[in-house]
């Protein structure tokens, strides 16, 4: 599947949705049926993993900024990424927290709510 490269709201929606899925729900742990993503897996690599996942989370915030979202929403999203990063650097505790606190999912919800309200042409109707 090729992602759209445009700056329109529908293209942004597709990219951030794909990024959130990659980071938070790429795989399912067999037996317990619990979704995990690259955020939890890459986060197992000390320091480098946290840098990579923080950059990927920051990308979602950058896309939100390009949509013209309010500073308040951007700050809230940035704090989600910062909190995820701060907890993630703590050995063992951070790895467990990556499974439970999904900053990218929260940030995706903020973006989708904005898109649905301010860019109705980009809405996705679920059937």
| pLDDT, tens digit, 9 for 90 and up, residues 12-27 | 999 999 999 999 999 9
**pTM higher than the cut 0.85:** yes
Query: What pLDDT does 14 receive?
Result: 94
> Looking up tokens 């309200």, which residue turns up?
117
Indicate whether 69 pLDDT > 90. Answer: yes
- The pLDDT, as a whole number, for residue 127 is 58
pLDDT category of residue 99 using cuts at 50, 70 and 90: confident
pLDDT of residue 37: 94
Helix (H) or strand (E) holding 107: helix 103-118
Whole-number Å distance between alpha carbons of 102 and 115: 20
């Amino acid at each position: 599947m090729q992602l759209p490269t445009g700056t329109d709201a529908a293209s942004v929606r597709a990219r951030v949705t794909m990024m959130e899925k990659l980071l938070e729900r790429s795989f399912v742990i067999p037996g317990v049926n619990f979704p995990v993503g690259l955020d939890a897996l890459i986060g197992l690599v000390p320091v480098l993993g946290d840098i990579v996942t923080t950059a990927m989370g920051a990308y979602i915030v950058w896309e939100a900024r390009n949509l013209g979202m309010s500073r308040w929403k951007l700050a809230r999203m940035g704090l989600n990424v910062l909190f995820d990063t701060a907890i993630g650097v703590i050995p063992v505790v951070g790895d467990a927290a990556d499974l439970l606190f999904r900053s990218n999912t929260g940030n995706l919800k903020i973006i989708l709510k904005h898109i649905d309200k301010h860019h109705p042409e980009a809405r996705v109707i679920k059937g």
